A = this chain, B = another copy of it.
Amino acid sequence: MNIAQGIWPPAATPFRADLSIDFDRYIAHCLRLLADGAHGLAVLGTTSEANSLDFAEREAVLERLVAANIAADKLLPGTGATSLGDAVRLTRHAVGLGVRGVLLLPPFYYKGVADEGLFAFVSALIERVGGDRLKLYLYNFPQMTGIVWSVALVGRLRNAFPETVVGLKDSSGDVAYLDKLLESYPGFAVFPSSEALLLAALRKGAAGCISATANTHVTEIRGLFDRWRESDAAALHNQVSSVRRLVQNYPLIPAVKALLAARDKANNWLHVRPPLEPLDPQSRSVLLAALTKLRGTAVLAST
């Protein structure tokens, strides 16, 4: 198996003023992330506003990336949906393109569902997609889904599908949960969603991280990943963590897009699809000024 490891930014999706996808800017951004140090791209996740894209767009995004000569094995797209049928459709399409794996949200409409029901959903998906090319990374984000991939369920899924259920991205921010996963399942590819958790997690066996702020700071986060056993690791950790702490004082997706707009001098980056709202101009100015003060202008010009 060729399990994903390292820094996989959840690439943000730029929109035009009419909210259609700005594919040219998107491809350029993805290529830059890879050039700047990303091991691969966790596209079509929460930061990408994937659940605000329609299903045809989610398929088009992957096809455009592959058409732009980004190797499919550098892609870890989200293929979750509330219905088994739609999750199967999106997963089959992604696997057909040759992606490294898929990030799977639990079916997120009903709440209070039991592990047994989630197990049935994943089992049915694996059976229907079929083949041995499917590699599933569970996507845990209870703040959005209202559902946790419990540590017990993760273990049960790994046991039942050891060649298929190979990892998990944890966006919960719950360090006790993250630690429990890392302790319980050595070799399972666990990715926290913040570089502020990366160093501690790597010491416990994490695979890397999938962080929204890697959209603008991938080189520095990659530096920490490469040097986490070195003597300057704590300093690198402090550096990336201070940026992260600053940005996450704001609504994270609009804030990341505001930083990309400033970096690229491109207002299309400011657009978000409803129900999200763009950062107001005042907050944008304050964020940019604070970031400049914190890290110097080089922060937004890593290439």
Residues of A that sit less than 8 Å from B by CB: 19, 46, 51-57, 81-86, 89, 106-111, 113-114, 116-118, 120-121, 124, 143-144, 146, 273-277
For the residues of A in contact with B, the DSSP-based class is loop
The contact sample of 28 A-B pairs, CB cut-off 8 A, is: A19-B124, A46-B110, A51-B82, A51-B107, A51-B109, A51-B110, A52-B84, A52-B107, A52-B110, A53-B83, A53-B85, A54-B86, A57-B85, A83-B273, A108-B108, A108-B109, A110-B276, A113-B275, A113-B276, A114-B277, A116-B277, A117-B274, A118-B274, A120-B274, A120-B275, A121-B275, A124-B274, A146-B146
Question: A52 touching B120 by the CB < 8 A rule?
Answer: no
The quantity of this chain's copies bound in the complex is: 2
Report the nearest B residue to A122, measured CB to CB: B274
Smallest CB separation, A195 vs chain B (Å): 22
On chain B, the residues within 8 Å of A85 by CB distance are 53-54, 56-57
Report the nearest B residue to A118, measured CB to CB: B275
Q: Could you list 7 further interchain pairs (A-B, Cβ under 8 angstroms) beyond the known A46-B109, A109-B144, A116-B277?
A: A46-B110, A51-B107, A52-B84, A54-B85, A110-B276, A113-B277, A120-B274
The 10 closest A-B pairs by CB, nearest first: A54-B85, A117-B275, A51-B109, A120-B274, A121-B274, A113-B275, A51-B82, A54-B86, A54-B83, A117-B277
On chain B, the residues within 8 Å of A146 by CB distance are 146
Smallest CB separation, A115 vs chain B (Å): 9
Complex: A82 Cα to B56 Cα, angstroms: 14
On chain B, the residues within 8 Å of A117 by CB distance are 274-277
